[in-house]
Amino acid sequence: MDRKIAVVGAGNVGATVAQRLAEKTLGDVVLIDIITGVPQGKALDLTEAAPIEGHDAAIVGTNDYEAAAGADIVIITAGIPRKPGMSRDDLLTTNAGIMRSVVAEVARHAPEAIIIVVSNPLDAMCHVAYEVSGFPRERVMGMAGVLDAARFRAFIAAELRVSVENVHATVLGGHGDTMVPLPRYSTVAGVPLPELLAPERIAALVERTRNGGAEIVGLLKTGSAFYAPASAAVEMAEAILRDRKKILPCAVYLQGEYGIDGLFVGVPVKLGRRGVEEIVPLRLTDEELAALHGSAAAVRELTASLGKAKAFAGPHPL
């Protein structure tokens, strides 16, 4: 194929991303991990599934970043996952060190790539990727908003007993407890959510969305979500590779938009061949804007702590 996607990290998220990229025939896939044999074994397993699934994508597993040369997109899933009782913020120091190491290699071998960050804490990891890569802001973005909106959509569909295809949802802000689901901009077959559900039910769905990742961590006990995060990253990659001009909520570097400057925060953007092609403005109420700025403040506080993570050095667990 004439398109290549590199996936860094061959754990549950990375391997599922590789699977869905191949099965959608979005391009050839390079799965990279530091652990010898893991990316090679998973790539071989996925290759042997290809005749059954009916795709001809080449899937290569490697421990060498040179294989990422010429990649159109690099999806970074590397990092330690959350465990019960651990917040995304607790991951900051270790995962920031991993991100710096990974992105330095990506920038060296695939300098024209678009980076999609999946690793947590998402907004801070995007900042690290942006800083280390030196790429323009259009080519560095985070996955979180698509995932958070998908969770909100799933909960709304279950509550109203309708198809998920009828539900559209908007979630802004940081990927964490301060995220800002917007019921006013969430619809079912075009009908705004506040016209379909009582305020207390909407509030319950909003709260469940904010805690969606923690709910899964609590159930799994030894890991975190990977099916939905993988689907979210692949939806973004597909919008870019197929130049769909699709509007999705993504973590992007804001430079004054929504009154926020110098931070990665989730807002609706148009994704196409050049990456982030437009940041879409929404008319927010004073209350919604205050909530978004509150979420941004939490991101800023976390990002300000990144200096502490620079002490991390040496081999990194993917």
Q: Which residues, in sequence order, are CB contacts of 87 under 8 Å at separation 6+? A: 176, 177
**Pairing relationship of beta strands 28-32 and 4-8 according to DSSP bridges:** parallel
Distance CA 19, CA 235 (A): 13
Q: Could you tell me if 6 and 313 are in contact, meaning their C-beta atoms sit under 8 angstroms apart? A: no
**CA–CA separation, 112 and 97 (whole Å):** 23
Q: Is 109 annotated as catalytic?
A: no
- Cα separation, 169 vs 148, whole angstroms: 9
The kind and range of the H/E element at 192 are strand 191-192
| Spatial contact of 245 and 273, defined as CB atoms under 8 Å apart | no
Taking the C-alpha atoms of 85, 90, 96 and 101 in order, what is their torsion angle to the nearest 10 degrees? -40
Among 109, 127, 175, 316, the one annotated catalytic: 175
Tokens representing residue 94 in the block: 């270790």
Residue pair 164/154 in contact by the 8 Å Cβ criterion: yes
Residue 113 and residue 127 in contact, taking contact as beta carbons nearer than 8 Å: no
Would you call 191 exposed, middle or buried from its count of C-beta atoms within 10 A (0-12, 13-18, 19+)? Answer: exposed
Measured in Å, how far apart are the chain's first and last C-alpha atoms?
Answer: 27
Active site residues: 175
